[in-house]
Chain A
């Protein structure tokens, strides 16, 4: 808006300095920098927890692991050392030195050898499941968030309307279904009874993973039921949250004013009501995603889906502590990254956060 003359009428209008583009960029930077620092601290906390837990617990995970390793094959001294670094047990070194060599090892991605898949390194095992899980979880979460939020906006637009009185009680019930049980029921109905989808697995067993149509279509068919489980059970959480926020936001003055402005109902609902109501959903993403991740791990176990959840299942059955420890870290880091992405989205959607940081 160049070329307009400044009105001298009111002093404070001119007194408030205009924010230049570079300043805006700086504010952006500082908000995100703060979050990055926070997530680094959180990552460090997760790693430290991982270090402390086996050392605090009764019993001696290290000797249990070494015993098991010796049953599986000869154990070299450096493998023994590695186990002690990860799980303690040998009191030869002071705790702080163990801690630093543990952190150093983590930076190199060194998690020891898996017991369930002996003697494959844990990092290789985790890598095999990582992409499967992230794709399944990512796609299902995006679908559930978008659809759930949209339905919640529709239901909350008129609290007590027919849509609200059908959707809200239904979603309270669906929200309460345990993931793994919903998974069992879906398997029973759609894979076992109707035979529409495969019972388990990630893709046809005779197909080599790769970018060919046969593999991809097989992978998609296999992912349908697990994804449906995650979407079905997590959708209602977003829905209820959005519905409640919407029901209260539609009474805000700015929504009333938008209606007074004679804007179309769609515009009032989306640009004014829903646009504001969705913000708390995004800011409470951290709480929700934790539950969704937990649920999707259980879902994977039911479907024997080749992701982190099934690996976790293997680790539990075989008391494979090294694998379990690594999975916990990797899952935590994934959740941290997801949260960071949502934080960025929030800053993008709510201009007030940019101001608050300056």
Chain B
């Protein structure tokens, strides 16, 4: 199994600000295997986008990685910690091995450059192609996602929203990467376009075999797409497991709420319910389990004890309810991000 490992994130923590820092990502670990689709779900403010920028080392002040490692495992050779890699090495790995697709392709493409030219510069940098080859390849890549190759000469504003999003995906494929991190790549397009893009994405993934970290707030979508899913709440992982297990039998009340708050396309009909309340303020997190003020199943201890992520048979849950009574600590381990 470890031979297939491509990305190994351990104990990653990201803070905002310095005087009174807020942890947007707190002690997150996960492994990504070759050809795997890992879904990361959570509400806005859960830290999932911060996680993505930290993993791809695109974080910028006031965000700051305070601990952890992000190891990339190449097919041959020693693993590289992306967080401590020197700029030159990082630049070489970028896009060639790890590509990203942003939430809004509307803003992710340079408005004053032809779409093709934005493929050409990356191809010329990493694949050492000459200009002519690169333009030809750009056209081919666009065709992969169903955009006529001659549209490479257009500017982004001449593309529709769906085309731009697909172009961004094609761009991510340019150097045949091993990992693509996608941050809500289908949020900005309508539902029909979303289905189209996802179908296309699965097809491309089957063909090229890259691994995907797919970040979204839409759990229902992940269930259909991902192999494994990680649920985030207030910067921490609250539940992780295979897509089917997690959807069939969620163990964390938050996952349950998330599941029941969106209708499914397949499966039995059930009532759609919203989770009451809203995501907590990172500068003022509740003590104990961060979800307890909104939790319908909270019991004694939830407001004082922060449950650790307990993994059994590949399924992890961070909830007192899911833990054997003996494992419950009596008091809070000194929490770092409680409100001052």
User: Which residues of A approach B to under 8 Å, CB–CB?
Assistant: 1-2, 4-7, 9-10, 12-14, 16, 18-19, 251-254, 256-264, 267, 271-272, 275-276, 279, 349-352, 355
Contacts and interface: CB of A to CB of B under 8 A. Distances in A.
B112 A263 contact: no
B contact face: mostly helix, strand, loop, or mixed:
helix
A257 B108 contact: yes
Nearest to B59: A256
B120 to A, nearest CB: 11
Given A13-B146, A260-B99, A352 B121 contact: no
Interface residues of B, number: 48
A168 to B, nearest CB: 17
Given A259-B58, A262-B91, A19 B146 contact: no
A2 B153 CA distance: 12
Contacts of A10: 146-147, 162-163, 166, 196
B22 to A, nearest CB: 19
B290 to A, nearest CB: 28
Given A13-B148, A18-B150, A351-B155, A251 B60 contact: yes
Contact of B107 (A13, A16, A254): A254
The 4 closest A-B pairs by CB, nearest first: A262-B94, A9-B146, A4-B149, A10-B146
Nearest to A356: B157
25 contacts: A1-B136, A2-B150, A6-B148, A9-B200, A10-B146, A10-B147, A14-B148, A16-B158, A16-B160, A19-B158, A253-B102, A254-B108, A254-B109, A256-B58, A259-B94, A260-B58, A260-B94, A262-B94, A263-B91, A263-B121, A263-B125, A267-B125, A271-B110, A352-B111, A355-B158
Interface string B103-138: 010011111110000000110011000000001100
A351 B135 contact: no
Nearest to A259: B58
B112 A276 contact: yes
Interface in B65-105: 90-96, 99-100, 102, 104
B152 interface: yes
Given A352-B112, A355-B158, 20 more contacts: A1-B150, A1-B152, A9-B146, A9-B200, A10-B146, A13-B151, A13-B163, A251-B60, A253-B104, A253-B108, A256-B102, A257-B102, A257-B109, A259-B94, A260-B99, A261-B94, A261-B121, A263-B122, A276-B110, A352-B111
B50 to A, nearest CB: 13
Interface of B: 56, 58, 60, 90-96, 99-100, 102, 104, 107-113, 121-122, 125-126, 135-136, 139-140, 143, 146-155, 157-158, 160, 162-163, 166, 196, 200
B153 A1 contact: yes
Contact of B110 (A9, A14, A254, A260): A254
Contacts of B107: 252-254
B139 A1 contact: yes
A271 B113 contact: yes
Contacts of B151: 13, 18
A19 B154 CA distance: 9
Nearest to B107: A253
Contacts of B121: 261, 263, 267, 271
A5 B112 CA distance: 27
A262 B146 contact: no
B95 A12 contact: no
Contacts of A352: 111-112, 155, 157
A16 B58 CA distance: 35
Contacts of A272: 110, 113
A355 B158 CA distance: 8
Contacts of A253: 102, 104, 107-108
Contacts of A254: 107-111
Contacts of B109: 254, 257
Given A257-B100, A261-B125, A351 B157 contact: yes
B108 to A, nearest CB: 4
Contacts of B162: 10, 12
Nearest to A257: B108
A153 to B, nearest CB: 15
B56 A260 contact: yes
A355 B110 CA distance: 16
B13 to A, nearest CB: 21
Contacts of B58: 256, 259-260
B246 to A, nearest CB: 29
B112 A275 contact: yes
A302 B91 CA distance: 53
A279 B113 CA distance: 13
A12 B163 contact: yes
A156 B32 CA distance: 37
Contacts of B163: 10, 12-13
Given A1-B139, A7-B143, A262-B122, A351 B110 contact: no
Contacts of A14: 148
Contacts of A257: 100, 102, 108-109
A261 B155 CA distance: 19
Contacts of B149: 1, 4
Given A1-B139, A13-B151, A262 B100 contact: no
Nearest to B161: A12
Contacts of A349: 112
B148 A7 contact: yes
A260 B95 contact: yes
Q: Which of A254, A275, A352 has most B Cβ within 10 Å? A: A254
